[in-house]
Structure formats: C-alpha cells, structure tokens
C-alpha cells in the first residue's frame, strides 16, 4: 500500500535536491511524477524548483486555498507519484487532501520540507504531516560545530540571531543558518550578556 | 554530546516495555537512571510503570506544574540518564526543561510516548518533542490488516469508533486500538453510511 | 508485501527481549507466531528463549541441517509471522529458506541477532541476512564510554580482551561485552604495550 | 565522536548524487572534503565522479594496493571529512584504514556504494563496512513493481537475467537494473520454464 511520507530537515540540508533526485529516480522507472510547490500568492501556476547544488525542475504551484485532491483528480490522474517541495507551507487541509490521494488512488506522496521555524515552532503543514504521515524520516545536516543541526536560526543584518518576529519572512535564505540547539542557545546567552535582546 | 530523544508509537506498540528495557540496559552498564512519568494530579510521588508484557519499575511521578530541570538538579544529579514514559502528557515547558538538562549536564534524555490522540492531533508534549528533539524515531506496530498502525482509535461501549470528545479520557486503554489510517477512515465511512455520527 | 527483516545489534542490546515483545504484539492482534531458534546440536526440539530482563517463551529449535521452508510448510502453515532469535547461527541456506517463506506465503519473517563475532567478522547467517533482507535495522546499545557499541569483545579469565580464537565459544555470555570500536582498539593497544598478545 | 558511515543502496538509487550532495553540504559549512573513488587499475590519479542526474566532481582515485590511511596522513590532513563513492570496490584492508582515520583524527568517513553483486553476494568492501561501520543506512529505491529494490540484476544482450558470471563486469551500468527479490526470482523461474539457464 502507498504511504504519505514526511522527509523533514533543517535549512541547507538539501531537501530540494532530495526531492528532485527522488523525482528523477521514479521517472527513470517510467513512473510519471507530479511535482508540487505551495505558492505564496493566490494563483495556480508553474514555477521552477531549484536546489543550491544546481538541480532544477518545473513544478505546479498551489496556493493555500487550492484543493489538491481535486487538482490531482481532475488534471493529474496519470501521475503515479506526487512529490511536494517546501511542504511546510501547505495548509493542514491540504495535507489531509494529500493523505486522501494516498488512500483513494494508492499513489505515494512524498513531502520534503522544514519541520520548524526560527523560533523552533512547527509550521502548520509540518504539524499535520507529523500527525498523519505513515513514514517520518529526517534528512540530516551538520551544525558548524559538527553536531546534528536541528534549529533554523534567523539572523538580522548585523549578524544577530533573532528570537522574535513573523514565522515567514519573505526575502530569502541568506538570513538563515541551520545550527544545533546547543550552539543556538549559546548565541542567545552571548547576545543577552551584551544586552542584545532580539 | 548527549541528545534529547523522542521515541513515539501508537497504542500497544510496547513503548513502556521499550522504556523499561532501555533502563535495564543502562543500569547493566552501571549508569544510574531517573525514570519519570507525568502524573495527572498535582502531587509529586512514586508510582509503578507497567508494560502489558509484564515488565515493571518504580518511577518518579511529576505533575504538570513541576519544574523537571529543578527536580533533576536538586535531587537526581547522580543519574546519568533520564527516561520518560507517557511523555505525551508532559507540558511544552517540561520538554524544554528536559532539553536543558541534556545541554547543561550532557545527560541523554529518552522520551517514550504517543504522538497523536484519537483525533490524529498531537499531544502538547509530543508537539514540543517533535520541535526540539535531536533524535526522532518511531516504534512501529501493526494494524489488524497488517499495515503499519499510526492512528489511536477510540471506541465507545458499542464498539463504534469515536471522532469527537476530550483529548484525554481517563479510564483506560481498553477503549483504544491502534489502526492504520486507511482502516480508520473506512470505519468512519461505514459508520456514517449507517447514520452513526460519533 | 511481507518482508524479511534483519534486526541486528551487539551483545546485551536486548535483542531477545525485542524478539519476545514483537511476538507479544503480533499475538495481541490474534496473529499466530512461529518462534524459532537455531540449535547447536542436530535434533529438532523445543527450548525456552530467555531475555536477561526476565521475559521468556518456548521456541522451536532448528538444527543447522533442518530445512526451515519444509518445516514451515509441513507443520506451521497456520502461523502468520515467523520470528527467529539468535539468527546469526542460521546457515546461509536457512536464511534463503526464510526468504522463500516470505515470498511464497507473504508471511513476515523477523530475524534478531548479532552481526559480528568477537573479531568483528560477520557470522554466516548474518552475512546472508545483510545480502537478502528487505529491511535492515540496528538495535542500538551503548559502550561504557557512552558511545554506540558495535564490537562484541570477548574476555579471558584474567579480563584480557581476546583477538584470536574460535568464532563460537560455548559456555556463556559472561565473557562478552559490547564496546565501541574506539575502546576496543584502545584495549588492544594497552595490552600490547604490556606485552600481552591474545 | 566521528563515525564510519556505510550508506548502501541498489543500482540507480542515486548513491553518487547523495555523495556529491553530502560533499556540497559540508563545503557550504567551510569544511574541506576529500572525495575518494577506488580505481580499477594500479595508478593513483584524479577522475571525475558523475551522477546520472547531472552532478559531478573531481575525485582522488585509489588503487586496491594504496594505503588510504597513509594517503590521508601524508597529503590530506587538512580535509575534515572523507567521502568515498563506489565503496564496494574498496579492499577490506582499505576499509580498516578508513576506520582508523575516523578514530585517530576524529574525522567522519562516509562510504556510498552497493552492498551486493548480481548474485546477491556482498562485495568485499561492503562486507567489511557492514562489519565495522558505526552507522549503516540504506538509500532506498523502487523496483518496477513499486516494492523496494534490493537486488542488482544483471542482463545479457538478449535481456535475460544472469545468475552466473564474474562479480565485476566492466563495461557499464546499462546491463543492470535494481529489482525486488520477488520480481528477480520470478524472472529466474520464467526463464527456467523456457529452458534458459543463465
């Protein structure tokens, strides 16, 4: 039986590259893949998914109010696998719709994304995936200290780690770095010792 | 470096037996273990943790308002490992306190528990563990159909699966059964076809 | 589809307890289990499998020249799951027979055992399981230093680690200890520095 | 502490892409990587490692008689990570040398490769990695039937699956396909039913 997969990892762990390699592998076996990406505006469309290492592919963009089950049923029934990049931005309802595709069509759905934001809180899509995914695996990456990175630290222009702010900050990954919890908490202590409260 | 571990599984997957075996293994290597269990009332105390297969051990019960970091620091600094059974009932603050024990004392903390309730929603303690644990692993079990069980179905006295109610229903495990999402949704459909809405 | 599972771990990692808990879980779901154990002599029989933590169960003992596929087909077709304890002592042919049970009867076969001997060489049964098992997972345990234990060190009566000898040394587990590779190699160095070559 | 990692998978599971992504991730964190590849002739040299999806990188080629510990110590002490592609072609001695680099320099060594040949037998390098690696993980891929692929089937020019021959057949991957054990055994049966014994 097909499963709903959640493959989560910290910033810079190559989630997108993993998504594109998985797509490539299925296509090599002649299985057509639907690649989805949650979009931040309200229009359906296509967009290019790019990994930092240089892989890319066209994806179907789905806004938050789009019913993915209907989308699949009406337009993509020929696809034997569904892959979602940046799945943390799915709504919980969309995760349930993906879960229903798995059950009704016996099609595997693989979701790649972050689990937590820069304050170590789950994204809504990630929360729902932890709740109903049949397979939960971590894509590992390392902190600068060599330990496993689990926190997505956000930095301001002066290089201070931020501990408050909006969950989603449009404008890019250059302000994020994956760290281990230990180093992240040390940064906070060091900043607060200098009277910097972010 | 020590880690915070979340070992989650569905009802009847032998989480408690795993917790007790882990305790046994550490003690065989002469490492003293602190076994904790969240309590439902407001008194500290000791209680017996029992697994269905017949293993048991005394545990320190911690009510929701107890600071576990302080508890460890003041009374249990000699313990080289902390194990928590039924960790889904920890408060998010208590999970953070356990995470701080890991960092400040380099002591591994292993938390065993459910991830979701009978409506497939995360428990508060489980949510926080998914957010900050350095290691997340599933203890697997099977549905009656042979697939992996991921849903903790709750039943009423007539054997109907319940889809509404309080998250915590004191009075026992005999009303729960781990099922796969597919079988659980089929039960709902079958019940609703008979006009039964629970 | 059912799978052949190899769940390997070092001495003292509670492999047998895991095997017995797995048996218990399946039986709770009313699935009959065949528990097997390779025997060292040439007679079929029954024996008791015991874990150090106190669990035990009767098992069917199979000598090295017994065809397990025939045994299952002729006597145990009603068993929906096969569990093997001490699977490192299976012959490669017996592992293939178990693999054929998986395929022909769609019955899961779960093998629990050591991967390597005291010289870090694979046992014949473990080698074949690494070759054909559809699922390979490690049951982890810790070295006295806190690192993951992967080597099954053998000791002589004076407490020296042994680096030569027969692969199977009947007479008990009291002469073994799971260690990490680092500590094990340090022991060797320390002994050799004292002129002790074992 | 650093570990020796064995990341094994069947043909076409993107092992090389995974090796190159891992290299990229470490380099993004400013950790210099030594990428090695066992060579089939007897000269040291450099070569290009290429994945089917289009990633590539220069690698240091090591012949079977090269001492990798000495190579690292003499020429590459500045590298903080060692990654090996096609690790199944390492000699057991070279795997031990890599294991010694891990211990003596606290440098992680990540080995990517096949576990078994077209007859489901371990390669010498893979066998030694199963014996001493501190971390063993599978890179999964799918059979054409949708099940997990675990066998590397070899085909002749007429498209028959081969069940005898040399372990290493130079001349390319185009004659291999990853399959599940079930489909692979069915191929054998079907061929033998037609009187074809390969």
Q: Is B26 on the interface with C (CB under 8 A)?
A: yes
SS3 state of residue C110: strand
Q: Which of A59, A60, A54, A62 is nearest to A17 (CA)?
A: A54
pLDDT at D128: 98
Residue A197 DSSP one-character state: -
Q: Is the pLDDT of residue A18 over 80?
A: yes
List pLDDT tens digits, range C151-192.
999 998 888 999 988 888 765 545 889 999 999 999 999 999
SS3 state of residue B196: coil
Active site residues of D: 86
Chains that touch B (3 or more CB pairs under 8 A): A, C
- Partner residue facing C12 (CB), from B17, B28, B52: B28
**Secondary structure, 3-state, chain D:** CCCEEEEEECCCCCHHHHHHHHHHHHHHCCCCEEEEEECCCCCCEEEEEECCCCCEEEEEEECCCCCHHHHHHHHCCCCCEEEECCHHHCCHHHHHHHHHHHHHHCCCEEEEECCECCCCCECHHHHHHHHHCCEEEEECCECCCCCECCEEEEECCCCCEECCCCCCCCCCHHHEEEECHHHHHHHHHHHHHCCCCC
Q: Is A183 on the interface with B (CB under 8 A)?
A: no
pLDDT at D170: 62
Q: Is B183 on the interface with C (CB under 8 A)?
A: no
Q: Which residue has the higher pLDDT, B165 or D113?
A: D113
CA distance A13 to chain D (A): 7
* Dist. CA C49–CA C58, nearest whole Å: 6
Q: Which pLDDT band, with edges at 50, 70 and 90, does D91 fall under?
A: very high
Q: Which residue of D123, D130, D189 to mutate against C (max C Cβ within 10 Å)?
A: D130
Q: Do the chains contact at C132 and D181, CB–CB below 8 Å?
A: yes
List pLDDT tens digits, range B141-171.
999 888 999 999 999 888 899 998 888 876 5
pLDDT at B9: 96
pLDDT at A72: 98
Q: What would the mean pLDDT of A33-56 be, rounded to a whole number?
A: 86
pLDDT at A175: 84
Q: Which pLDDT band, with edges at 50, 70 and 90, does D73 fall under?
A: very high
C141 contacts in chain D (CB < 8 Å): none
* C-beta separation of D57 from D20 below 8 A: yes
List pLDDT tens digits, range A140-189.
999 988 899 999 999 988 889 999 888 887 655 458 899 999 999 999 99
pLDDT at C79: 98
Q: Is the pLDDT of residue D109 over 90?
A: yes
pTM for the whole structure: 0.94
Q: Do the chains contact at B138 and A134, CB–CB below 8 Å?
A: no
> By CA distance, what is C146's nearest residue in B?
B2
CA distance C78 to chain D (A): 22
Q: Do the chains contact at D115 and C130, CB–CB below 8 Å?
A: yes
Tokens of C19: 């095997």
A141 contacts in chain D (CB < 8 Å): 25
The residues facing C129 across adjacent strands are none
C55 contacts in chain B (CB < 8 Å): 53-55
* Dist. CA A5–CA A136, nearest whole Å: 6
List pLDDT tens digits, range A77-114.
999 999 999 999 999 999 999 999 999 999 999 999 99
Q: Which pLDDT band, with edges at 50, 70 and 90, does D174 fall under?
A: low
CA distance B154 to chain C (A): 16
pLDDT at B149: 95
* C-beta separation of B113 from B8 below 8 A: yes
pLDDT at B40: 75
Low-confidence ranges of chain C (pLDDT < 50): 173
- Partner residue facing D130 (CB), from C115, C180, C181: C115
pLDDT above 90 as % of chain D: 78
A85 Cβ contact partners less than 8 Å away, ≥ 6 residues apart = A15, A16, A19, A35, A36, A37, A49, A59, A112, A113
List pLDDT tens digits, range A46-58.
888 999 899 999 9
pLDDT at A188: 92
Paired sense of beta strands B81-84 and B33-38, if any:
parallel
Q: Is D17 on the interface with A (CB under 8 A)?
A: yes
Q: Do the chains contact at A138 and B136, CB–CB below 8 Å?
A: yes
CA distances from D5 to B137, C131, D64, D75 (A): 19, 18, 20, 22
* C-beta separation of C115 from D130 below 8 A: yes
pLDDT at D167: 85
Q: What would the mean pLDDT of A8-26 be, rounded to a whole number?
A: 94
B122 contacts in chain A (CB < 8 Å): 127, 130-131
Low-confidence ranges of chain B (pLDDT < 50): 173
């Amino acid at each position: 039986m097909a499963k709903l997969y959640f493959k989560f990892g910290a910033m810079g762990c190559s989630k997108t590259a993993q998504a594109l390699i998985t797509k490539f592998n299925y296509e090599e076996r002649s299985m057509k893949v639907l690649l989805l990406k949650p979009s931040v505006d309200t229009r359906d469309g296509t967009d290019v998914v790019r990994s930092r290492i240089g892989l890319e592919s066209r994806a179907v963009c789905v806004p938050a109010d789009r019913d993915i089950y209907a989308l699949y049923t009406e337009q993509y029934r020929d696809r034997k696998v569904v892959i979602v990049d940046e799945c943390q931005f799915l709504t919980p309802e969309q995760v349930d719709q993906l879960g229903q595709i798995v059950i009704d069509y016996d099609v595997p759905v693989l979701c790649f994304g972050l689990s937590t934001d820069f304050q170590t809180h789950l994204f809504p899509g990630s929360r729902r995936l932890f709740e109903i995914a049949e397979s939960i695996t971590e894509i590992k990456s390392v902190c600068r200290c060599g330990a496993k990175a689990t926190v997505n630290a956000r930095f301001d222009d002066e290089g201070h780690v931020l501990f408050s702010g909006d969950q989603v900050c449009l404008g890019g990954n250059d302000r994020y770095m994956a760290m281990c919890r230990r180093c992240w908490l040390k940064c906070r202590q060091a900043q607060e010792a200098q009277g910097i409260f972010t």
